[in-house]
């Protein structure tokens, strides 16, 4: 199995961190390799719903993001990707700290891939699980000026 070029990975992580929505969510792409990734959200008051619990949409966002990046590296360089469905289960409430999502591509495909993510709180407890189908989009790739693989 191929390993991505380390320079590509670092450039990709920086691009994601500086993108508007991940920056707004305080979300970073911590690790990415073939069929796997790790996403981190450092929680703050803006992530809470009126009852002081992290909003379900925050958890859905990290699952959506982790499934996306878990499937991303298998794509040809000129291809993008979009989630076409998202199914998740909330297992425990979270009120502070951080969320870490570990994403895994469990069935890569040329046009549709299938991925899952597990979300853990700062104490390492599983707080949510989700799956997503992802559709490849020709001509919508991310050009970082560096090949994915060396």
User: For residue range 71-122, what is the model confidence (pLDDT) as tens digits?
Assistant: 999 999 899 999 999 999 999 999 999 999 999 999 999 999 999 999 999 9
Which residues in the chain belong to E strands, given as ranges?
27-33, 36-42, 79-90, 98-107, 112-121, 126-138
Residue 36's pLDDT band, with cuts at 50, 70 and 90, is very high
What pLDDT digit, counting tens, does each position of 122-149 carry?
A: 999 999 999 999 999 999 999 999 999 9
Which strand ranges, in their side-by-side order, compose the sheet holding 27-33? Answer: 27-33, 36-42, 98-107, 112-121, 126-138, 79-90
Residues 37, 33, 18: CA angle, nearest 5 degrees = 60
Per-residue pLDDT for 2 more than 90? no
Spell out the residues 6+ positions from residue 140 whose beta carbon is closer than 8 angstroms to its own.
79, 80, 81
Q: What is the mean pLDDT of residues 8-29?
A: 97
pLDDT for res 144: 94
């Amino acid at each position: 199995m191929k390993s991505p070029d380390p320079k590509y990975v670092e450039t990709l992580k920086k691009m994601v961190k500086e993108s508007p929505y991940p920056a707004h969510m305080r979300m970073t792409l911590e690790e990415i390799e073939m069929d796997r990734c790790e996403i981190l959200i450092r929680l703050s008051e803006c992530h809470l719903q009126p009852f002081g619990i992290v909003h379900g949409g925050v958890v859905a966002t990290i699952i959506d993001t982790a499934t996306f990046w878990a499937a991303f590296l298998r794509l040809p360089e000129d291809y993008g990707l979009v989630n076409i469905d998202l199914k998740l289960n909330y297992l425990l409430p979270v009120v502070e700290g951080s969320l870490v999502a570990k994403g895994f591509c469990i069935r890569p495909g040329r046009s549709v891939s299938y991925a899952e993510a597990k979300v853990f709180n700062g104490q390492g407890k599983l707080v949510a699980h989700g799956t997503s189908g992802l559709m490849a989009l020709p001509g919508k790739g991310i050009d970082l000026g560096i090949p994915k693989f060396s």
